[in-house]
Structures are given as C-alpha cells and as structure tokens.
Amino acid sequence: MAKTSNLSAPERRRIAEQALDSPEQRTEDVLVRVQCGRGHHVAAVLDTAAGPVFRSVTGLHAHGDRDYVDTGHGSHQNGTRYVDLLAADDFTDDALPASCECGPHTLSRVRLVTAIAEYERLIQLP
C-alpha cells in the first residue's frame, strides 16, 4: 500500500492510475459503489495493490445503461476519468469530484472510508 502522507495530489492520482492500469489488476474488486437517486453510476472504490482507489467520471458524458458503463446514444461526450488514492492525511482534501447523467456531484473521502469500514457496498445519493 502506498504511503500518502508525503505525496502531492498529482502523485496520488498517478499512483492510483498505475494501480488501476497495472496488469496485476485483472478484475475489478469493488469495495463500494455510489449511485445517484435515479440509479446512475456515479463512482466506485476499487481494491488495488496500492490500496483503495476512488474512480469516477467527471464532466459531461452521454446517457448510458443506467450503471457501470456509459454507452453513448449519438453523442461522443464521454467525460474524463478521475482517480485518486482513497487514503488520506490531515492535508488531503475531503472532496472528490464525480458526475453522472444528472450532473456533477461532490463525494466525501471520509464518507467512502467509513462505508468500506462498515461493509456498506452501495451508497445511494439523494
């Protein structure tokens, strides 16, 4: 697991990207999923060799299959993948960006860590 206390935000995100894209990360071991009130996929936290990694899509993206994969319907807007190590210290920002077809969301890093500790597999946003 990566030690995050001395890492800058870009370094944390680079380590998270490498962990998700590594050949050893064959399957998605999802610790917690986040959905909006309409059932759209907003974000997920995945278990990786570097520790829990937060993954979301930010910006505009086409309406899709309600969950997991956004399949465009005549639109080429796919949003931008955002990843970060979930572990934090006193200097790490709690707010994590995400979005779905309903619009942008801001998720709490502390809330996600708590959900994992309490074995909560799904966070349903209002």
Q: How many other C-beta atoms can be found within 10 angstroms of the C-beta atom of residue 49?
A: 12
Q: Is residue 50 part of a domain?
A: yes
Q: Is residue 66 part of a domain?
A: yes
Q: Is residue 87 part of a domain?
A: yes
Domains in the chain, number: 1
Q: Is residue 19 part of a domain?
A: yes
pLDDT tens track for 90-111: 778 899 999 998 899 999 999 9
pLDDT tens track for 21-38: 888 766 778 999 999 999
In three-state secondary structure terms, 18 is helix
Evaluate if residue 68 carries a pLDDT over 80: no
Closest CA to 110 of 126, 122, 92, 125: 92
Residue 92 DSSP class: S
pLDDT tens track for 56-67: 988 764 454 444
Helix, strand, coil % over all residues of the chain, rounded to 5: 15, 40, 45
- The gap between the terminal CA atoms of the chain, to the nearest Å, is 33
Q: Is residue 85 part of a domain?
A: yes
